[in-house]
Amino acid sequence: MTWDMATLWRSDLAAVVIMVGLGLFCVATQRNLIKVLIGIEVLARAVTLCLVSAGLNLDKQGVASALTIVCITLDAAVVAVALALVVNAARHYGGISARRLTRLKG
């Protein structure tokens, strides 16, 4: 088995699948809002990895790099906003468990 581009692509895809599975599992099972956020971040990293890997495989590294950087930058913003929401939710409901967030109207 040689480490050619196709193999690399396949192993990267395997990693992506594993990371998506982990992320979803985390999102589906964790009650702690911070942990849910971490799960979302794992999903986002899986997407980033998918982009990089596709760029390598299709020989479009430039585009892939640009998209990856945009992705990371946006993700930072998303995390910032999400954390702010978590802080507010925690203040409002007195805790950071997702179970407290079941009412439609705060």
Partner 1 sequence: MSAYAWVVLVPLAGAALVPLFALAGPTARYTFANLVGFATAGLALALVPLTSAGTGVAFRWLPGLADFSVFRDGLSLFLVLIAGCIGALIVLYSVKYMERERDLTRYYSLLILFIGAMVGLALTSNLLILYVFWEVVGLCSYALIGFFYEDPKAARAGLKAFLVTRVGDVGLLVGILTLYFSVEPHTFDLGRLMELAAQGGIPPVALATAAFGFLFGAVGKSAQFPLHVWLPDAMEAPTTISALIHAATMVNAGVYLVARTSPMFAGVPGWLAAVAWVGVVTAFLSATLALVEPDLKRLLAYSTISQLGYMLFSIGVGGVLASQFHLLSHAVFKALLFLCAGAVIHEAGTRNMYEMGGLGRHMRVTAPCFLVGALALSGVPVLNGFWSKDLVLSAAWHQGQYWPLAVAVLTAVLTAAYSLRAYYLVFCGRKGPEVHEAPAVMTGPLVVLAVGAVLSWLLVGPQSRLLEMVGYAPHAISALELIRETGTSPVLALSLGALALGLGIYAWARDPGARVTGASPALALVLGRAYGFDGLYLWVVRGVVRAGRALLRGLEGAVLDAANYAVSALTVAGGRAGRRVQTGDLNRNLVGVALGLVLMLACLFGIFLAFRGRGIWS
Alpha carbon distance 49, 45 (integer Å) = 6
Work out which of 28, 59, 62, 106 binds partner 1, going by CB under 8 A.
28
Alpha carbon distance 66, 18 (integer Å) = 25
Shortest Å distance, C-beta 29 to partner 1: 7
Phi/psi of residue 103, nearest 5 degrees: -85, 145
Binding characters for partner 1, 36-75, by CB under 8 A (x = yes): x---------------------------------------
31 binds partner 1 (CB under 8 A): yes
Query: Taking the CA of residue 62 as centre, how many other CA atoms within 13 Å lie in the half-sphere pointing to its CB?
Result: 0
Work out which of 12, 13, 22, 30 binds partner 1, going by CB under 8 A.
30
